[in-house]
Amino acid sequence: MTISSRFSVAIHILSLLEFNKEGVSTSEYISGSVNTNPVVIRRIMSMLNKAGLVEVRAGVAGTKLLRELEDITLLDVYRAVNVVEEDGLFAVHDRPNPNCPVGRNIQSAIEPVFSSAQKAMEKTLAAVTLQDIVDDLSSKSEVV
């Protein structure tokens, strides 16, 4: 199982909005770059709008960034698209055998490790901004 692709699609959308800031970024335009259905794009843009990262107005074509790229971290995007709940990245089976010494204690043994691993990943995401991503994209040939 992997983390929802909403996260990478949201990063794609936000990066594309920056590259096309002089143009009109409709869900149809963005879906062409992401290579998915415009409905998927609209759903994710709605989440980004609710998180205050983009402005989406009903009946008005186009979406725009509401914050500077250097003020948006990948952790902001990760949280905006509801990838996982706090301490919910790793699922722990919920009904081990309580009569078994391993089954009785496995959850308390691994949950702190899982929580620590999720916090480490989130710390990494917090250290990377959308500006970092756009700068990397800009350094590659033939972007947008």
Is residue 40 within 8 A of residue 6, CB to CB? The reply is: no
One-letter amino acid identity for 37? N
In this structure, the number of other CB atoms found within 10 A of the CB of residue 110 comes to 12
pLDDT in tens, 14-70: 999 999 988 888 999 999 999 999 999 999 999 999 999 999 876 667 789 999 999
Query: In the numeric block, which tokens belong to residue 101?
Result: 């010494």
Host H or E run for residue 63:
strand 63-65
Is residue 92 within 8 A of residue 114, CB to CB? The reply is: yes
pLDDT in tens, 54-66: 998 766 677 899 9
The pTM of this model reads 0.85
pLDDT at 8 over 80: yes
Cα dihedral sign for 37, 38, 39, 41? positive
